[in-house]
Structure formats: C-alpha cells, structure tokens
Amino acid sequence: MTKHLNHLITRGMTVEIMDPKHTESAHPATFMGEVCQCDQDHVLVKDTENHIYDVFLDEILCLMNYQSSASRYCLRVSDQGYDVLCILPTGFIETLATELDYTTATHVVELLSKPVQLQKVAA
C-alpha cells in the first residue's frame, strides 16, 4: 500500500519548514520545530520559542531525524490531486510530480519503489 507523507510524520519529529507558500500560512519565515500533531494536509509545529504554527505539508522541507538507508516514495495530498514525493535518506523531501489523479500517482510510486531489474537485450 502506498504511504502518504502524513503517515511518515510523527509527533516529536523535528522538521524544517520553508518560507510561507500560501496566503493562509501563519509562520513568518523558515524555521525548525517539533511536530505536535499531523493530519492529511496540515501539521502543527512548535518552534524553539514555543510558538505553534499550522503548517501546510508542502511547506516541509526536511524531516530532520528521519533515518533510512534508501530513498522512500510517498504521496502528499494537494489542492488539485496528489503529489509524488521522494524522501531522501538525509530526510530532504523532493517533489517528483504534482497534481496527479490518485490512480496515476499510486502507479508512479509503485513503479519507483520496485527494485531495478537488469534485462538482457539481444544485439
């Protein structure tokens, strides 16, 4: 089953937030903070001065204490559909495709998640 970004973000995780992308964004600038709560398209993040901001998932730049030996692919809900993301072993989030329908997005994630198979080609 394809994972969604909000399923990978847990309470207590440290995240880096980029400058606001939306007019509704409440945070003033880039900051690092601790996740208090996460839902389908928003995260409550507490900064170092104990201010809590409601942050859109697409404003998360990096999952700071994310640990993995390989890249991981997942989906993020967007206004017009689904975005396909790659979370690098370092925790940085790269957007690979945006605003896809659910069927296409899950197919892309499944294809990217499969191990590479070498095939012999006749000369």
State yes or no: pLDDT of 60 exceeds 80.
Answer: yes
- pLDDT per position as a tens digit, 10-35: 899 999 999 999 999 989 999 999 99
Read off φ and ψ for residue 19, nearest 5 degrees: -55, 150
* DSSP state for residue 48 in the 8-state scheme: T
65-118, pLDDT tens digit by residue? Answer: 777 778 889 999 888 899 999 999 888 999 999 999 999 999 999 888 887 776
Q: Are 31 and 110 in contact (CB under 8 A)?
A: no
Please list, in sequence order, all residues whose beta carbon lies within 8 angstroms of the beta carbon of residue 26, skipping any fewer than 6 positions away: 20, 53, 54, 55
Confidence at residue 118, expressed as pLDDT on a 0 to 100 scale:
62
